[in-house]
Amino acid sequence: MGGWLICAAALLMLPACAILQPVQEGQKLIGSPESAVRAAFGEPTDVYRLADGSGRWIYSKQPLGYEAYAADFDAGGTLTNFRQMLVASEIYQAKVDSWTKRDVEEHFGKPLEPVQYYPLMQRDVWSYRFRQDGYLSSLFNCYFDKQGILRQVQITLDPLGGDSSRAP
């Protein structure tokens, strides 16, 4: 009976690893089918079929969290990459005057902060929380024109604060 309890305890710990270190756990699943990713992380917040036939699942911690993880799958449903999208290297890929709302959504997930509208600029603004330089609570703001084209990006301090370097 003791062996059974140890196995049960080990199985219960698997999802905890995915929660505590999602990128590391997700990268261990590269080469696995969609079902393995779903078993480890649950249902994604967003699912996209990309233009090249591949797929992307977003696991967003927005609106108050600072992460949005992407699980990328090839056309056959095999995991090819797993990464945190709300980091500088991903944010700086946003192409002003080229990307559309759909492109931003496929990259970072649906905006879960309330969409702001600035009538004088005639811009919708989507905001995503992230930790700039790994600790500074910030907002990545995407400004779209009436046609849904990304016209400006901006990084601002998060008014809710939450500097992780001072976390208990």
Q: 95-152 pLDDT, tens per residue?
A: 999 999 999 999 999 999 999 999 999 999 999 999 999 889 999 999 999 999 999 9
Q: Based on the structure, what is the number of domains in the chain? A: 2
Residues 154 and 112 in one domain: yes
Q: Is the peptide bond before 63 cis (omega within 30 degrees of 0)?
A: yes
Structural domain of residue 41, as residue ranges? 21-84
Q: Specify the pLDDT at position 161.
A: 81
Q: How far apart are CA 165 and CA 137, in angstroms?
A: 10
Kindly indicate the confidence band of residue 11, based on its pLDDT and cuts at 50, 70 and 90: very low
Residues 55 and 80 in one domain: yes
Q: 45-104 pLDDT, tens per residue?
A: 999 999 999 999 999 999 999 999 999 999 999 999 999 999 999 999 999 999 999 999
**Please, which contacts does 60-67 make with residues 24 or more away whose CB atoms are closer than 8 Å?**
60/109, 60/110, 60/112, 62/109, 62/111, 62/112, 62/113, 62/128, 62/129, 63/112, 63/113, 63/129, 64/129, 64/160, 65/129, 66/129, 66/130, 66/131, 66/137, 67/22, 67/130
Q: 154-166 pLDDT, tens per residue?
A: 999 999 886 554 4
> Which tops the pLDDT comparison, 5 or 89?
89
Domain boundary among 63, 84, 105: 84
Residues 80 and 141 in one domain: no
Domain boundary among 84, 105, 132: 84
Residues 60 and 100 in one domain: no
